[in-house]
Chain A
């Protein structure tokens, strides 16, 4: 298990006074201090980790957020921001000595501006609610993480969330035009707006995906797009994952960027088929769903080209959707892959590495070996177009040894991803889950520079500490820190 920083007993002792101070800022039911009522906030999408917060505050206005942060800053109290709590990396895991700052009351769509193709929303609006608010005019918000019914746009900004369509339409960072945010000192700033690009440093770029460590987002302006005229999908089975992998490479080399391109391995295919009966072929090693979207004439043309490429790569089965119902059926299994795996195992953890696609067969072979080594099963779903792998490790959390083995298995998978030139996380974030693996990918100088940027935003390290970075440093010392030969200075600073 990963450990969190040791709580500050002086802060714990002041809990009642802190709750009272927060009540002076956020009246009524906006401050929650009863353990039974705080229970709902003790974990997020990484449910193996639980921690009761010091106190929960649910402000309703940007001014209140500003006052809460100003108070925390003046009193040296940690703050953990939270949207819907769907993070799969533990980004919203509370701290025993930290205020949990929930943005759930920021739930209004403020403005829809079709003429300028954007929507201004509060951070607690769910991803799907943005699309719902504009779909009667044929528009949608492009990034579509699978938790889109629950996850909020504020959390999407914090995690730079992706989805199955991000190869063609981009991640959150490519679809956010502006934000209003509050710094830990209470200063309210605006980055971007309805216009494009920044007048100075791209602070919107660094905020997006900063996992709640740099500031609290209180308003978001997103780009909205007109929906493609139509979409069709091809479902292709392959006798080996190598064939599926070269098929994906050939599609992209042919100049085709599909709206979605998803791969599943044999265990994932079987679990999904047993669950939703999508009529998936069961005698294949890899299944590919390629979705083309756009005008009918373009989609029909590209479907033919993709089918020809698939056949040239030894596809053993190939079906083209002929109706919207059939297209949805192709997707049904893939979209239900996580709950499907949930049916065949008491628990699973979902990993999130990205690899250069051409290394896929090697990584899958490596994973099979690791599966034997750790004595746990693994099923793979894969955003094949952009190389983002989601291995699902099956285990039983009631057995502490299995949880331990599952975490070690996951860490080994991510090390393998980095070893072949990939990264620890493609879209779920580092959080606590991959925190201690950061040195696999980054040198100490790389991390020191990221932490210096953190200090430029948060001089006392009060925002979401214990996430992303494997070691804590005091900002004043980081400014002078030069790590040489792997020797970490300041051995007195607690590491966890």
Chain B
């Protein structure tokens, strides 16, 4: 059983890191331990003590909260004021087999964003500031409690998606935005991948402000419209005309349920032993990529982000299909999102980088954590 350290204050956190000589695995609530490579660390740094909402000012559009605060609690808090995290944080607990949607710190550490990514941006586009401790045990902050700020380097973005390998974050400042009053979804049926990408592209090129564009093979192609009711109704009709073919419409309640399922990649929750890949590609590259891979393996897939996000579930194998997928990948990057620990320890979970970029990333890592105390091995064999 690993040694667990649970600091109760920023000063305690700093002292605990400063005096450390062996690495930590940093966890919020531990729901995303399955993402990235397995961490080999004798000690656990438990951040769940940082669970207080520090400040929430709806009219300033800002929320500052402890990194260990549960995402679900934050969503309830801000929904009461008609607000949301616009990047639509996914809940991958059913796909990963974890207990719940986890902490805000974990969400930020993994830069996870849902279907609205294509319109509203990613988690990294909504983080305004951080407080935390470097691998040297220095307390530091970056960013601020305002929505527009370019003072100093944008460290909050750098830390978002760093999988806890750079710093231990104690508090996070986020931009919160109004929830749309209502939503509807246009459904197109009977499209293959190529046709679906083409239709999603037409929708995204229109002025209809599509806030979700996904394709589930054999089921349908979905285009979401959000906003005030008269605007949604107007854009629904306009988009249907633009697409020039028969469409079905999901009203608000069924639209919300559908997008929650797409957001959470629910179609891959059935068999957790099957490896799952999450690919970010140039949208128009997706159909060829999938066709090529399908000729090599028995896969299930779906498309989100207008085709830019490709989920691929493959049969279990020693490398979970890594060699085939990375060879076929025409653009972007492929992450092995779900696989047994032994497989994730053996293959590159994240897309390997060109040598100059990999070297730069290592130097950035060392600039925060020269002793390699935080989440060793999580992102690559060296960091």
Contacts and interface: CB of A to CB of B under 8 A. Distances in A.
B55 to A, nearest CB: 10
Contacts of B235: 295
A426 B206 contact: no
Contacts of A446: 140-142, 152
B163 to A, nearest CB: 9
A5 interface: no
Given A115-B201, A209-B154, A298-B230, A482 B147 contact: no
A421 interface: yes
Interface in A258-304: 294-298, 301-302
B140 A445 contact: yes
A415 to B, nearest CB: 13
Contact of B146 (A139, A423, A429): A423
A255 B351 CA distance: 39
A472 interface: no
Interface stretch (A9-17, A163-171, A488-496): A163-171
Contacts of B365: 201
Interface string B355-383: 01100110111111010000000011000
B341 interface: no
A257 interface: yes
Contacts of A194: 282-283, 331-332
- Taking residues whose C-beta sits less than 8 angstroms from the other chain, chain A's interface range is 35 or more
A116 B61 CA distance: 31
B155 A193 contact: no
Contact of A357 (B60, B153, B161, B361): B60
Contacts of B209: 294
A426 B149 contact: yes
A358 B55 CA distance: 14
Interface stretch (A312-320, A394-402, A453-461): A453-461
Interface string B151-194: 11111011011100010000000000111010000000000000
Contacts of B368: 449, 452-453
Interface stretch (A93-101, A183-191, A330-338, A363-371): A183-191
A247 B357 CA distance: 48
A425 B149 contact: yes
Interface string B221-235: 000000110110011
A210 B153 CA distance: 6
Nearest to A200: B361
Contacts of A450: 142, 152-153, 155
B280 interface: yes
B159 to A, nearest CB: 8
Interface string A450-486: 1011111100000000001000000000010010000
Contacts of B70: none
A8 interface: no
Interface in B123-157: 124-125, 134, 136, 138-142, 144-155, 157
A358 B60 contact: yes
B335 interface: yes
Given A159-B150, A196-B308, A256-B178, A422 B144 contact: yes
Contact of B360 (A115, A434, A457): A457
Given A167-B147, A208-B154, A456 B140 contact: no
B173 to A, nearest CB: 11
Interface stretch (A53-61, A225-233, A234-242): A225-233
B205 interface: yes
Nearest to B55: A421
B162 A201 contact: yes
A201 B140 contact: no
Contact of A115 (B58, B181, B284): B284
A441 interface: yes
Contacts, number: 268
A453 B154 contact: no
Interface string A202-231: 110110111000100000000000111100
A423 B305 contact: no
Given A117-B205, A193-B332, A294-B231, A205 B160 contact: yes
A162 B147 CA distance: 12
Nearest to B81: A253
A200 B181 CA distance: 36
B3 interface: no
Contact of B207 (A190, A226, A252, A257): A226
Interface in B291-342: 305, 308-309, 331-333, 335
Contacts of B230: 297-298, 301
B59 to A, nearest CB: 4
Name, among B125, B153, B207, the residue most crowded by chain A CB atoms within 10 Å (CB to CB).
B153
A424 interface: yes
Contacts of A206: 153-155, 157-158
Nearest to B118: A196
A200 B350 contact: yes
Contacts of A229: 207
A115 B205 CA distance: 7
Contact of B148 (A114, A296, A387, A421): A387
Interface string A349-362: 00000111110000
A427 B148 contact: yes
A174 B139 CA distance: 28
Contacts of B134: 449
Nearest to B133: A445
A191 B354 CA distance: 11
B151 A424 contact: yes
Nearest to B279: A195
A387 B158 contact: no
A170 B138 contact: no
Contact of B138 (A198, A209, A257, A448): A448
B116 interface: no
B21 to A, nearest CB: 17
Name, among B201, B350, B353, B360, the residue most crowded by chain A CB atoms within 10 Å (CB to CB).
B360
A260 to B, nearest CB: 13
A287 B316 CA distance: 64
Contacts of B147: 167, 354, 386-387
B265 to A, nearest CB: 15
Contacts of B220: none
Contacts of B124: 197, 202, 205
A209 B161 contact: no
A183 B359 CA distance: 12
Given A423-B144, A453-B158, A301 B231 contact: yes
A201 B157 CA distance: 9
Contacts of A438: 151-152
Contact of B151 (A296, A302, A430): A430
Contacts of A166: 148
B51 interface: no
Given A116-B284, A193-B282, A203-B361, A356 B145 contact: yes
Interface string B201-216: 1001111010000000
Contacts of A147: none
Given A117-B205, A302-B228, 4 more contacts: A200-B357, A202-B160, A203-B158, A456-B363
- Across the A-B interface, the 4 shortest Cβ-Cβ residue pairs: A205-B157, A195-B332, A298-B231, A199-B333
17 contacts: A115-B283, A117-B205, A170-B125, A183-B356, A199-B280, A202-B124, A206-B158, A209-B153, A252-B59, A295-B238, A297-B234, A298-B228, A424-B151, A426-B149, A448-B138, A453-B367, A456-B363
